[in-house]
A = this chain, B = another copy of it.
Amino acid sequence: MELRQMKTPRHRKLYEILRKHINDGVYSEGDLLPSENDLCNVYGLTRPTVRQALAALVQDGYISKQQGRGSIVKKMPQGIGILSVSGTTSALKDKNLKTEIIEKPHIIPWPANFMFGLSDLEIESGCIHMTRLRLLDDNPIFYDISFIPAINLPRFTARNFRNRSLFDILRKAYQVEIKGGEQRIKAIMAEKDISGYLKIRPGHPVLHMERKMVTNRPELNVYSSIYCNTKDYSIFGTF
């Protein structure tokens, strides 16, 4: 009986280490990473291997490189298309983001005429449904309706999501990472229920996003229908 354990490539290991260091604040924004040769010596690797790890960090937006200088830590908003907002008047960093649960996660059958096409496995598995309201400085900004296929996510509905990021929980508790996705955006008039949650008057324009986010787990996609109050904030994104 041959039990083969998934062996991680060395360049991947280094990538994980450096990414963790960046996220943990070992390096601040604008700092230089150790030089490629330093990394070689410290971790006992050769330059191509180190460069492979650094290339992945560039690709994922954690660092940028400059010939002759070094690898510069970016520590950007770091959401692969995950929502990031930018205030129109003041900076955002010292504002506090809260998440209120409107509807706790519970399993339902998928809605008819769902906004995205679903695979057979997704349909069979049923759907974890939850709605949340996200506030910035106590101003409601996002009204977020999420749909997640109930595929191997034990005790998911029992977790506490208040003031916690859905994607953090998926990553840390289930090793699910968002790899990419697609979205449709339009401007609509807020209907009564939405305007109530977002504390704007009915008829005011709101942003409506329908997004499908694919993960490292095949068949496990996260679907969201999001209504945004963009009166004081804009949706910000890079591409």
Q: Is the CB of A182 within 8 A of B236?
A: yes
- On whether the beta carbons of A183 and B228 are closer than 8 Å, the reply is no
Q: Is A69 engaged at the interface, CB distance under 8 Å to the other chain?
A: no
What chain B residues lie within 8 Å of A181 (beta carbons)?
238-239
Partner of A187, one of B183, B205, B236: B205
Closest to A188 in B: B205
**Quick check: is A207 within 8 A (CB to CB) of the other chain?**
yes
Contacts A59-B59, A207-B207 hold; do A185 and B239 have CB atoms under 8 A apart? no
**A239 CA to B186 CA, complexed, in Å:** 17
Q: Are A239 and B184 in contact (CB under 8 A)?
A: no
Per the bound structure, the CA–CA distance linking A205 and B231 in Å amounts to 12
Q: In angstroms, how far is the closest chain B Cβ from the Cβ of A11? A: 13
Q: Does A206 contact B (CB under 8 A)?
A: yes
Docked-complex contact B184 and A236, CB < 8 angstroms = yes
On whether the beta carbons of A183 and B236 are closer than 8 Å, the reply is yes
| A185–B205 CB distance below 8 A | no
Q: How far is the CA of A17 from the CA of B189 in the complex (A)?
A: 47
Cα separation A81 to B81 with both chains bound (whole Å):
12
A237: nearest chain-B partner, CB-CB: B183
Chain B residue contacts of A235, Cβ below 8 A: 184-186
Q: Is the interface of A mostly helix, strand, loop or mixed?
A: strand
Which chain B positions have C-beta within 8 A of A55?
55
Query: How close is A44's CB to chain B, nearest CB, in angstroms?
Result: 21
Question: Could you tell me which residues of chain A, from 177 to 204, have a CB within 8 Å of some CB in chain B?
Answer: 180-189, 204
* Min CB gap A101→B, angstroms: 25
Known: A48-B48, A205-B205. A237 touches B186 (CB 8 A): no
Sort A-B residue pairs by CB-CB distance and give the 5 closest, nearest first: A81-B239, A205-B205, A186-B230, A187-B187, A184-B234
Which residues of A are interface residues toward B (Cβ below 8 A)?
A: 48, 55, 59, 80-81, 86, 180-189, 204-207, 210, 228, 230, 233-239
Could you list some 24 contacts between A and B, CB below 8 A?
A55-B55, A81-B239, A86-B184, A181-B238, A182-B238, A183-B236, A183-B239, A184-B235, A185-B185, A185-B230, A185-B235, A186-B207, A186-B230, A186-B235, A187-B188, A187-B205, A187-B206, A187-B207, A187-B228, A188-B205, A189-B205, A207-B207, A210-B234, A239-B239
